[in-house]
Structure 1
Amino acid sequence: MKVEVFRVSNDVMKNQCYLIHHQGSGILIDPAWDYELIDGYLSEHKIVLKGVMLTHSHKDHVNLAGKFTREYGVPVYMSAVEVERYDFSCLNLVQLAHLSKVVVGDFEIIALLTPGHSAGSMCYLVNGHCFTGDTIFIEGVGSCSETDVDDLYDSVQYVKKQLSKNTLIWPGHSFGMAPGMEMGYLLDNNLYFQLDERDLFRNFRLRKNRPDPLVFY
């Protein structure tokens, strides 16, 4: 399995969306902003798109989901919690529960419900790779409200227990480090993975003197 990283942006947000592919079939994860770039790669490399996985419903992660499903007729996957909470709609939408296993093309995908950044955020585990959206970054964790910080804490603790140290982490944004680092690196270097006590995690995540709110650490 290969992972292609597309670094895309609008005037404000800079995102990483992903294409995983194997033997000519592929899946997009959180496609946004630059349809021509992503579609051109599919065409150039003769990759048949089999589906679109969405980690959550924020615009910078779903911006092109509708266009790709209209053009290619493929299913779009999102957590049922996210769909219901934010009234998300999309052609060919398939709703997933926690620990759902779906086969899309050549890939078996395990969906992990990881709320906090949004109510129904999901991480997708595929062949030793985990696509974390805005739940977990290499450098930190996603933004959250005061009412959601406990959910984010629980999600980080859950991921710590579920993923092996050699699982590769592919987040929706980067703030200096390249995506695709091993989970072991995060355990050693991401401060949020070292804050085992709920109150310490909560207080640090909600601290008032953190950097620009678009820098999530």
Structure 2
Amino acid sequence: MQIEVGLLHNFCEVIGCPRTGEAALVDPAFEVDRLLAEVRRRGWRVTTIFLTHTHDDHVAGLDEAAALTGAVVRCHPLEVAAAQSLAPRVAAVADGEEVTIGRGRVRAIFAPGHTPGCVCWFVAEPAAIVTGDVLFVGSCGRAGDVEAMVDTLQRRLGALPEETRVYPGHDYGKTPTSTLGYEFATNPGLRADTPAAFRKLMQRR
């Protein structure tokens, strides 16, 4: 479930298991009361909070969400210290680690480039990925490390099924979601498949 929150066109995702009612929030940025009201409406309970990264516009509501749910926050090892300043229960994840949510699993895919500690969160059935600021619909995030960003986009995301549904961290595109197949065919950030081409694209932006 994707919900737009705040004034910066942020998306927050709720990943829930309808069989058990266990759920996770991704990047609780703003309007935490609204997010949790939707969770309660569905009869779910939040046990986990996933972070794609700890830029302020993605964790502005983390302290409130952690306090109200008691959930474990899971993030990249490089983001643990920042998360611990906002939440008492924080656990680092490894690349490829799977976290159980009810009867489903969510896999951490390290995705450096926007920041060194970015993580994309992948669900296999049905295939979906929460990309934070790594990949938007029709564009991608700013790259602090161009080589790492291109590797993340081309190799790491490129290895996933083309039907994978993309859930970005902001509503910057023509549609709220897309698929990896469509993005690889049309997104300039993915078509710029070398560091040199990616730098040229960023300069034009």
Compute the displacement of 1:153 (Å): 1.2
Contact 1:5 1:19 in 2 (8 A): yes
- Structure 2 residue 42 is matched with structure 1 residue 42: no
Does the CA-based 8 Å contact 2:146-2:195 persist in structure 1? no
Letter in 1 for 2:28: P
**Residues 1:18 and 2:13 are matched in the alignment:** yes
1:9–1:33 contact (8 Å) kept in structure 2: yes
Matches of 2:107 and 2:40, distance apart in 1 = 27
Q: Residue 197 in 1 paired to residue 194 in 2?
A: yes
Q: Quick one: structure 1 residues 111 and 160, their matched pair in 2 at CA, closer, same or farther if it must change by over 3 Å?
A: closer
Gaps of 5+ in 2: none
CA distance in 2, matches of 1:29, 1:151: 23
Report the Cα distance in structure 1 between the residues aligned to 2:70 and 2:184, rounded to whole angstroms.
39
Describe the superposition over 1:149-196 as per-residue Cα deviations: whole angstroms up to 9, x where unpaired: 221111111234321110000000122322331111101110121122
Q: What is the Cα-based RMSD across aligned positions, in Å? A: 1.6
Structure 1: state its 5+ residue gaps. Answer: 211-217
Per the alignment, do residues 194 and 17 of structure 1 end up closer, same or farther by CA in structure 2, a change over 3 Å counting? same
**Larger RCO (alpha carbons 8 Å, 6+ apart):** 2
Q: Does 1:139 align with 2:138?
A: yes
8 Å contact kept, 1:138–1:186: yes
Give, in whole Å, the separation in 2 of the partners of 1:143 and 1:91.
30
Q: What is the TM-score of this pair, normalised by structure 2?
A: 0.90
Quote the Cα distance in structure 2 between the aligned partners of 1:72 and 1:153.
36
Aligned to 2:26: 29
- Could you tell me how far apart the structure 2 residues matched to 1:58 and 1:176 are? 20
Identical residues among aligned pairs (%): 27
Cα-to-partner distance string for 1:68-116 (whole Å, 9 max, x where unaligned): 22222111111002335xx441211010121112213332111111111
2:50 alignment partner, one of 27, 48, 53: 53
Kept in 2: contact 1:19–1:26 (CA 8 A): yes
Secondary structure of 1:57's aligned partner? coil
CA distance in structure 2 between the aligned counterparts of 1:161 and 1:176, rounded to whole angstroms? 20
The two structures have a TM-score, normalised by structure 1, of 0.85
Q: Write out aligned runs for 1:52-201 (5 A).
A: 52-83=49-80, 87-89=82-84, 90-127=87-124, 128-145=127-144, 148-201=145-198
Partner-residue secondary structure (3-state), 1:184: helix
* 8 Å CA contact 1:129, 1:167 repeated in 2: yes
| Cα separation, 2, equivalents of 1:172 and 1:196 | 22
Residue of structure 2 in register with 1:214 after alignment: none
- The CA deviation at 1:66 is 2.1
User: Does the residue aligned with 1:37 lie in a helix, a strand or coil?
Assistant: helix
| Equivalences, count | 199
Superposed displacement of residue 18, structure 1: 0.7
1:164 and 1:65 map into 2 onto residues whose CA distance is 31
- Please give the alpha-carbon distance, in whole angstroms, between the structure 1 residues aligned to 2:153 and 2:128: 16
Does the Cα contact within 8 Å between 1:76 and 1:94 map onto a contact in 2? yes
